[in-house]
Amino acid sequence: HIMTPYPQLMINLKTTAENKLKFYTDKRVKEAIEESKKVLGDEGRVVVRPSGTEPLIRVMAEGSDLQMIEAEANKIAEVLCKQLGCE
């Protein structure tokens, strides 16, 4: 099988060291991530994780449709900032 490279987008959200782990337990953030996974379906994926070394939350999206992954990554970033605060 040959792997087809998809467009990828990474958004780094600056937050506090204590807030960067809170997204794991925030209900609204979890819902936003699940919604985006449903929208992208088999056409892409989204990964949200804290940076291991910096006070950042990273939102990575990739998929066949750049506009769609941008929209979904931005939706998640917006919810993260609203719920946890971004600098």
Over the chain, what HEC string results? CCCCCCCEEEEEEECCCCHHHHHHCCHHHHHHHHHHHHHHHHHEEEEEEECCCCCEEEEEEEECCHHHHHHHHHHHHHHHHHHHCCC
Q: What is the CATH number of domain 8-84?
A: 3.30.310.50
Task: Provide the residue ranges of all domains of the chain, joining segments of one domain with +.
Answer: 8-84
Per-residue pLDDT of the chain (87 residues; tens, 9 = 90+): 787 789 999 999 999 988 888 888 999 999 999 999 999 999 999 999 999 999 999 999 999 999 999 999 999 999 999 999 998
pTM over 0.75: yes
